[in-house]
A and B are shown apart, each in its own frame.
Chain A
Amino acid sequence: MFGSRMVTPAIPERVYELCKLVEKKPMAVKELQDKMEPNYLPGNSGTPYFADYRLAAEELGLINISDGFVSFSEGNSKAISSLQSMRQYANWHMSEHKEGQFYKVTQGIFSQDTAVFKYGNLTEMLSEVSEWVQSDVTAQNLLGWRFWASYLGLGYLNQRGNSVQFLPNAGVFIWDIISRAGIEKNQLFSIDEWIEKVGTHIDPIQKDLGERTFNFGTSCGLRMLHDQEYIKMDTIMDQKNSWRLYQMNSHKVPSEITHITVLRG
């Protein structure tokens, strides 16, 4: 999922469930699989999904597999205290999977600003996505991506029948990074200081920091955090450094911002 190609069965809830089962004590691979995909249930014959989500958990560094036993990765207990904490953990570590398809597709989609929501269905933009990430992306890959994109707070799915549209708004993702980065509350930071604090963790959604322009999805996320009073964005005149948000005249925050204050924590 994160190391190489994306698959649909490796959804975050299954990864979480698997981790919870081995959190207390290691479990034989077969036993774990039987626990999660018991054969006594009709329809569970054939190739199980188990290998896919087990691999995703392993790629995220949440479990280890040794001698036919699956064990929980030591020191990560807090990461699975809830699905939300696992999300924060995954978001913080996402930048470590630069070579994986998930990272590349995410960065590619975010770099396209509003072009992504002209597609009524994710699968309609297959060829474009392949171009953005410069490798072949299949419909199944993209459908697998959506589960994690939604879970990680990169945006929201607009589902109509069989069509799934992705609407970028990385507010939840950004807040996870802010929270994990331990940025001091109620302290005014220049935008450059803020960028330094979130560091490379913001890379999955913001491809090119050199342009000093937040893309649409990141801008939506920042605006949402501002509107819901998680952060406060300011424009202080005569400041040397500023970043541009995606132009949205209707929003009360101007496009040019110079400072960010974290209001919650």
Chain B
Amino acid sequence: MNLKIAKERMGEVLKPDSITSSQGDFLATHVSMKNLLLLRNFDMKPEGKNLSAHSEDEVYQKYIRNLSNKHQFIAVYGQSGTGKSHLIRWFGFKFMHDKPENEVALFIRRSDNSLKGTIRQLLDQPEVQNVKNKDVIERLVKASQAVPDNILKETIYHSFIIEINNDERTDGIQLSSVKRKRLVAFLSNESIQERMMHDGGPIERIFSKIAEHSMIATDTVAQFKADDFAVDPDLYEAMQHAGADIKASSEARTLLADEDGAAESKILASYINQFVDTVVQRCAGIEPGDFEQIFSEIRKELFRQGKNLTLFIEDITSFTGVDTALLNALMEEHTGMYAQAGLCRISSILGGTSSYIGDFRDNHKDRITQYVYIPDGGFDNQSLFELFGRYINTMSLPEQTIAEWSMQGAKAEEYPVHEAKQGAVWESCNLSGKKLCLYPFTQKSIVNLYTGVLAQGQKTIRYIIQRIISPVIQEAMDHPDGLPSLTWGIISVNSKLDRTIHNKLANHPETADRLARFMAVWGDNTDFQYTDNDDVTYIAGLRKEVYDDFKLPVIALTSTEAPIPPKLDDPERKDPSQEDNKKTEPAKKSEIKIAPEKQQRLVKASEILNKWRAGAEIDIAITAGAPGIVREARDDMCTYLMGAINWQVEGVSLDNMRKIRDSSAKLMDFERQAKNRTPGFYVLPANWDSCEVVKAFIRWSEYGNRSFSYPESDYDVYLITAWAESVKGILIKAVKFWKVDTDSQYVEASLISELYRMILRGDIGVNKQAKNVDEKDILSVPVSAVNTDNGHSKEWNALLKLIADKGNDSRNHDTAVDYFNVRQGDGGSKVVLQADELSQTIKSIKAKSFYIAPEQMQKEDKVKGRKDTYEYLDSIQTRVEAVAEAEKAKAVETIRYLNEQLTDDDFDTIDVELLSMLLDNAKEFYQEANSTQINISTANTDQVKQQAKQIASAIERINAALGSQDTIGILTAFSDDPLTTIKPLTCLLQTLSRDMDTVDKQIEKKSNDLGINSETEENAEMLILAETMAKDASMFEEAGEQQ
């Protein structure tokens, strides 16, 4: 290459649109097409249908030259950028030299790419200078030249709205009136209009066919696409923000939906495209009739001159809006029923994209006499190398040299070749015995870039120039020490080579990356080197010297014998994308072949990782595509770490790990991970080693289908096992902590909650103090249904219910037990306690008086399961004080009643002795009553008698609790429901009171009946007994009322 000349010439030569380059450059870069398919009927994708391939010269001789001088219409079609223009221009160039004298050849370029520009080209042809009404047509063409772009675009946009609003057609795709109104409202929305009119949008595409100076010079189809109607949440929000009306919002919502939206978009695009011709014509100010008339006049003029017409139209899309009229004009024959019209014979060669030609009406398609199809990806290796060689050679030669060669007939044998000032030792391609230097490319890089950079549908000359030749040469000119840049990612991964490079250049990671790309894409991607018979050393398939041209270090690889590589410029190698790169590798042990699509997935994921390593954020929020692959690898890494680290051995309970596994916080996340609301426990640093580990997991998943059955998996096993060991310490610390340097102590909260549950359920046991509880007390309380039929306050029972709400009691119990269970993996039905740690933890919570202050609660723990444990305790702790007070309040009246009834100065404590006396007195009372024949039944005192000890104990506990301020002590005192225990006593006292009252009344009545007074001794005794009983009865009644 000659970079000095190329710097001047690059812009002239590397034009994606062949028609814009000079004649000389065009001919110097033209590569003969050899795979043209000929069809009589239109076929959108005729590849693979056993059609013979023809060279461009065959097509030219057989059809284009038109030696039989007949009317013909030839459509050259293919995907955008396949070289239709190149071919038509080459046909045109050849035809100009071969045509008979009476043949007029008109070439309609796409360079002006607008309807009016195209018409003007026609009018500029010398043969039509005398055409009838030329001045009228010229005025028509110049009519709207002064309209500013933005106004013209708005006119186009609003013309569509007007057409939709007034659509009264009865054929084609139709929308209901409601639907049309919704569409009009939608298109009228400010956000939607902005979207439709943005660069590259549908209005821009249509505008390019009308405006005089549009920059779009490709065969863009001036139509709406379904994607133009896609609405995403951001756009919908913008519409709402801008005040979308109801109908517009309604349409947007339909388009926003996943499945319905896609279908609706297609319908709307098809519907609105029906108005494209009308809108284009209106905005261009040209009617179809005008156009047919122009052509008719031209043909008549030529007929008058005794001439025939051969018309080359590079791109039919330039005629958007009047294409139907154009076809009508061109298809009109000069013989038969049209003989009287006085038209010349016309041979038309017209180019168009497959989809555009496919949309022709059937009667037009039927009248096309020959279809010439250019397949997508139609380059064999030889053609590719020739293409690159020709472009590099042409830009390395002065314009004058090329022009002279062109002027002298552009003979192949005289094709000028530059002297390589750069890359003289680089590979070349052979062009009829002439060597065209390929620097800065190698044959491998050409094949790899063509295969890897260009997607299906982009394997065309235009994309080759735009995406490969131009940027690589630009890099070679500007920064040869940066080539290959990150743009040229590795296409096929040789992990061994990659790692070898990075091991050897561990201190220069960026150079290592670049060298890896160079060896993988420019070289043969093997980890071998050899020296051939000419004493030239090749490293990874590249001459040792070429590394220096890109300022890359030379590293030693495994030596091997020089191979006999199959020649890449072997014409029989048709499809580079199907190449097996390993064919060129030195002998290697047989390996399981990894499917190319799997390799591609790794490559795409590697690109994300490389960018991340270079400083970019990594976004794995989405599950599809390459980010999805990386995301899956992250998840696999988390799962692996969960099993590979022996957590229990490291002092992390499996209960803790289960809670972490079930939380939204991942065990591992990436450094600079975008949209990561809950950071993981271990942050994978953005470095080469990390990327290698991630890629190992991707290979395990992709290459091995989630196994290690794939080549070089042994190193991946080493990588991931060593990685687990290296991150173990950090991870263990991280999962033990809930925040920096602070241990998670959720199990303490769990145990305290268990204690409260035990107390509130009444399971702590009579006379058991909280400070005396042990492992068994806390862990053995089963989870069962809550019973609120008791003597407790409503506050107590409300808390009891809350504790068991939604299975919280069960979950907390499991936490308390599982935390100390030494489990055998996920198996084992029995609980083997970590008794020592359990004992230590109970000591700890006792030391804290079974209380965790709100500020010490770890309620911001990102692990929900651990946080919930604190939330649970908090919900209990915030209520227990009120519950204790409520219990005391309920007990205090009963105790006062009992004290009033049963205690005095001599007996100030209700104990078993006092209760015994009470029972004796009651017995005596009923005996006396019976003996005096007072009619009352004897109250049953058995229950009090039998439970005297418990009753006395309950009263004692309640009394103690009433004087206490210790919440947990109060709750413990009330745990076994002492009010229910003493209930038989209060009942007995109430019965006694009632019965004494009855006795009192009956004595009084009898005394009155007998006229007894107290004067006699006998009478006096009777009265004393009666008074005593009356007094007791009165006291009980009084107390009963108070209760």
Please name all residues of chain A whose beta carbon is closer than 8 Å to the beta carbon of B775 when the two chains form the complex: 38
Binary A-proximity of B758-792 (CB < 8 A = 1, otherwise 0)? 00000000000000000110011010000000000
Chain A residues 105-140 with CB under 8 Å of chain B are 114, 117-118, 120
Contacts of B500 in A (CB 8 A): 249-250
Q: How far is the CA of A73 from the CA of B936 in the complex (A)?
A: 79
Q: How far is the CA of A191 from the CA of B835 in the complex (A)?
A: 46
Q: B817 contacts A159, CB within 8 Å?
A: no
Q: Is the CB of B714 within 8 A of A246?
A: yes
Contacting pair B722 A44 (CB below 8 A) = no
Complex Cα gap A164–B718 (Å): 17
Contact assessment for B718 and A248 in the assembled complex, using a CB-CB cutoff below 8 Å: yes
* Cβ-defined contact, A155 with B721, below 8 A: yes
B912 interfacial by beta-carbon distance below 8 Å: no
Query: Within the complex, which residue of B651, B707, B717 is in contact with A120, where a contact is CB–CB below 8 Å?
Result: B707
Stretch from B13-21, B640-648, B876-884 that touches the partner: B640-648
User: A118 contacts which chain B residues (CB < 8 A)?
Assistant: 707-709
Whether A157 and B644, one on each chain, are in contact in the complex, defined by CB atoms closer than 8 angstroms, is: yes
Closest to B717 in A: A167
CA distance A120 to B888 in the complex (A): 64
Complex contacts, A13 vs chain B, CB 8 Å: 648-649, 822, 834
Q: Enumerate chain A residues within 8 angstroms of B171, measured Cβ to Cβ.
A: none
Contacts of B715 in A (CB 8 A): 248, 250-251
Annotate A203-240 by CB proximity to B: 1 below 8 A, 0 otherwise: 00000000000001000100110011000000000000
Q: Verify B825–A147 contact, CB threshold 8 A.
A: yes
Verify if B828 is at the interface (C-beta below 8 Å from A). yes
Q: Beyond A9-B828, A167-B720, is A20–B836 a contact (Cβ under 8 Å)? A: yes
Question: On chain B, which size bracket covers the interface?
Answer: 35 or more
Contact status B721-A117, CB under 8 Å: no
Expressed in whole angstroms, the Cα–Cα distance for A167 and B836 within the complex equals 33
Does B828 lie within 8 Å of A8, measured CB to CB?
yes
- Which A residues are in CB contact (< 8 Å) with B706? 120, 160
B residues 195-235 with Cβ under 8 Å of A? Answer: none
Q: Which residues of A contact B651 (CB under 8 A)?
A: 83
Q: How far is it, in angstroms, between the C-alpha of A44 and the C-alpha of B506 when the chains are bound?
A: 56
The answer on a CB contact under 8 Å between A43 and B503 is no
Contact with A along B640-668 (1 / 0, CB 8 A): 10111010111100000000000000000
Q: CA A49 – CA B828 in complex, angstroms?
A: 9
Please give, as numbers and ranges, the residues of chain A lying within 8 Å of B643 by CB-CB distance: 157-160, 164
List chain A residues, Cβ under 8 A from B832. Answer: 14, 17, 36-37, 49-50, 53
**Which chain A residues border B829 with CB–CB below 8 Å?**
43
> Are A41 and B499 in contact, with the CB atoms below 8 A?
no
Docked Cα-Cα span, A164 to B824, in Å, equals 14
Q: Mark B485-523, 1 if CB is under 8 A from A, else 0.
A: 000000000011001100110100000000000000000
Q: Is the CB of B708 within 8 A of A35?
A: no
Q: Are A37 and B830 in contact (CB under 8 A)?
A: yes
Give Cα A246 to B712, complex, Å.
13
Q: Does B776 lie within 8 Å of A40, measured CB to CB?
A: yes
Question: Is the interface on chain A under 10, 10 to 19, 20 to 34, or 35 or more residues?
Answer: 35 or more
Known contacts A11-B822, A11-B824, A118-B707; decide if A251 and B503 are in contact (CB<8 Å): yes
Complex Cα distance, B821 from A42, in Å, reads 13
For residue A12, give the distance in angstroms from its CB to the closest CB of chain B. 7
Give Cα distance in the complex from A192 to B309, angstroms. 93
Evaluate contact between B830 and A114: CB separation under 8 angstroms.
no
Q: CB distance A41 to B779 under 8 Å?
A: yes
Q: Which of B718, B782, B824 contacts A9 (CB 8 A)?
A: B824
Q: Is B919 an interface residue (CB 8 A)?
A: no
| Prevailing SS type, chain A contact patch | mixed
Residues A48 and B503 in contact, CB atoms below 8 Å apart: no
Shortest Cβ gap from B354 to chain A (Å) = 47
A72 contacts B by Cβ under 8 Å: no
Distance in angstroms from A24 CB to nearest chain B CB is: 10
Least Cβ distance of A124 to chain B in Å? 11
Q: Is the CB of A17 within 8 A of B831?
A: no
Chain B residues with Cβ below 8 Å from A248 are: 714-715, 718
A residues 170-210 with Cβ under 8 Å of B?
A: 171-172
| Contact across chains for A224 and B642 when beta carbons are under 8 A apart | no
Contact A220–B718 (Cβ < 8 Å) = yes
A114 & B836 in contact (Cβ 8 Å cutoff): no
Q: Name the distance in Å between B815's Cβ and chain A's nearest Cβ.
A: 14
In the complex, whether B587 has a CB less than 8 A from a CB of chain A is no
In the complex where A17-B832, A41-B831 touch, is A117 in contact with B649 (Cβ < 8 A)? no
Query: Does A252 sit within 8 A of B, measured CB to CB?
Result: yes
Determine if B722 and A40 form an interchain contact, defined as CB atoms under 8 angstroms apart: no
B12 at the A interface (CB under 8 A): no
Tell whether A21 is near chain B: CB-to-CB under 8 Å. yes
Q: Which of A37, A114, A159 contacts B717 (CB 8 A)?
A: A114
Instruction: Report A56 CB to chain B, min CB distance, Å.
Output: 12
Q: Cβ of A243 < 8 Å from any Cβ of B?
A: no
CB distance from A165 to the nearest CB of B (A): 8
A-B contact pairs, 27 of them (CB 8 A): A9-B828, A13-B648, A14-B824, A17-B833, A17-B835, A20-B836, A21-B835, A37-B830, A37-B833, A41-B779, A49-B828, A83-B650, A114-B713, A114-B714, A151-B649, A155-B721, A156-B644, A158-B643, A160-B639, A220-B717, A223-B718, A224-B718, A228-B722, A250-B496, A250-B715, A251-B715, A252-B503
Chain B interface (Cβ within 8 Å of chain A)? 495-496, 499-500, 503-504, 506, 527, 558, 639-640, 642-644, 646, 648-651, 706-709, 712-715, 717-718, 720-722, 724-726, 775-776, 779-780, 782, 817, 822, 824-825, 827-836
Contacts beyond the supplied A36-B832, A41-B817, A251-B718: 12 A-B pairs with Cβ under 8 Å: A9-B828, A14-B832, A20-B836, A36-B833, A37-B830, A49-B832, A143-B827, A157-B643, A160-B639, A169-B722, A224-B721, A228-B722
Residues of A within 8 A of B (CB): 8-9, 11-14, 17, 20-21, 35-38, 40-44, 46, 48-50, 53, 83, 87, 114, 117-118, 120, 143, 147, 150-151, 155-160, 164, 167-169, 171-172, 216, 220, 223-224, 227-228, 246, 248-252
Q: For the complex of A and B, list the 6 residue pairs with the smallest distance between their C-beta atoms, beginning with the closest.
A: A159-B643, A169-B721, A250-B499, A40-B780, A156-B644, A252-B503
